[in-house]
Amino acid sequence: MMTSPFLFMARMIRDALLVIALCLFAGQALAGSRLLATGGVSQIEGAAGGGLSPWGVLAGSASEGELAATAFISTAPLSDYTLTAGGIALNVHDRLELSLAHQHLALDTLGGRLEQQIAGAKLRLFGDLLYHPWGVWSLGVQHKRLDDGSLPRVIGAHDVQGNDIYLSGSKLVFAALAERNLLLNLTLRSTRANQGGLLGFGGDLEPGRTLVAEGSVGLFLTPRWIIGAEYRQKPDNLSFAREDDWRSLYTAYFFSPQLSLTGAVLDLGAIAGLEHQHGGYLSLQFAL
């Protein structure tokens, strides 16, 4: 169990080194040929995506016959909470993405914390972000498990682990607006997660799965710099606390194929009975 951000970072670095070691062991160089920014950044659950939602692209810049790995650390100080997330992802031949992430939600006002582990896999079904007329489409799964589910159970969550399944599509439209490239993303997710899983899975209002839609648009002002907006619909399973959809306005800058920084303003609505959870978001991604 995580106790401090320092331990958290240490573990992330250890995991990243493990992935690199595995790749070297497999005798394959970590190098990608895909163009800058076509792997997106890391979303809070560890998949390649925006900040809130997975995208159809796979992590890093790996293409056919190539491997890529990414590691990220994100923080979102909200009105009454602080969310910290970190993780790693491995892209195998631009076909399969495997990811591990850890989320830590500090309950600044209520006291205490909630933590969950997320193991993800994303399979590219077909397409290409830039070249296919329909873009790139992927099918993903996220297995989530709370470290300590006692608080979510008290407020009515049925389970302390769950699986999200999602279909995600992304398409870059060249010179779409003012001769700038426009990035479109759509994700459909089947989930039982309350607040992404941090408040458990299922509840008295809805014990089963809900199909939710997530989407984002982004405009590349330059090949390195994108601004945009994201929206993530959420289920509403608990009568104890209403759950709202998540919204963000984001900007990301790709300093190099190896380093990107994402900033956003978030509006996450009500969380566990506390209304108007607004805040900032910062995310750093390293790629190999």
Interface stretch with another protein, choices 81-89, 153-161, 215-223, 236-244 (CB under 8 A): 215-223
The correct pick among 8, 12, 30, 34 for binding another protein (CB under 8 A) is 34
Among positions 148-167, residues that touch another protein (CB under 8 A) are none
- Determine the interface stretch with another protein among 39-47, 125-133, 148-156, 158-166 (rule: CB under 8 A): 125-133
Window 244 to 283, contacts with another protein (CB under 8 A): 249, 265, 267, 278
Number of amino acids touching another protein (CB under 8 A): 31
The verdict on 179 binding another protein (CB under 8 A) reads yes
Helix (H, G, I), strand (E, B) or coil at 180: strand
Q: Does 123 bind another protein (CB under 8 A)?
A: no
Provide, rounded to whole angstroms, the least separation between the CB of residue 264 and another protein.
Answer: 10
Name 141's Cβ contacts closer than 8 Å, sequence gap at least 6: 120, 121, 122, 163, 164, 165, 166
Q: How many CA atoms lie within 13 A of 206 on its CB side?
A: 15
**Alpha-carbon span 87 to 102, nearest angstrom:** 6
From 3, 10, 24, 174, residue interacting with another protein (rule: CB under 8 A): 174
The yes or no reply on residue 223 touching another protein (CB under 8 A) is: yes
Taking the complex as a whole, the smallest distance from the CB of residue 129 to another protein amounts, in Å, to 10
Q: Exposed (0-12), middle (13-18) or buried (19+): which is 282, by Cβ within 10 Å?
A: middle
How many other C-beta atoms lie within 10 A of the C-beta of residue 46? 29
Output the CA–CA distances (angstroms, integers) from residue 252 to 96, 108, 221, 262, in the order listed.
24, 27, 11, 4
Site for another protein in 70-109 (CB under 8 A): 94
Q: Is 234 helix (H, G, I), strand (E, B) or coil?
A: coil
**CA dist., res. 37 & res. 128, Å (int):** 13
d(CA 217, CA 219): 7
- What is the distance of C-alpha 194 from the center of its chain? 16
Pick 174 or 255: Cβ nearer another protein: 174
Phi, psi of 179 (to 5 degrees): 60, 15
Q: Which is nearer to another protein, 34 or 144 (CB)?
A: 34
Q: Which member of 45, 128, 214, 230 binds another protein (CB under 8 A)?
A: 128
Q: Is 181 in the site for another protein (CB under 8 A)?
A: yes
Q: How far is the CB of 130 from another protein (least distance, A)?
A: 6
Select the residue interacting with another protein from 167, 219, 261, 274 (CB under 8 A). 219
Candidate segments 117-125, 148-156, 177-185, 187-195, binder of another protein by CB under 8 A: 177-185
Stretch that binds another protein, among 96-104, 114-122, 131-139, 207-215 (CB under 8 A): 131-139
Beta strands in the chain (DSSP E): 41-42, 48-49, 67-77, 82-92, 96-106, 113-127, 136-146, 161-177, 180-191, 210-222, 225-232, 246-256, 259-267, 278-287
The phi, psi pair for 76, rounded to 5°, reads -135, 95
Contact residues toward another protein (CB under 8 A) are 33-35, 63-66, 94, 128, 130-133, 173-175, 177-181, 219, 221-223, 227, 229, 249, 265, 267, 278
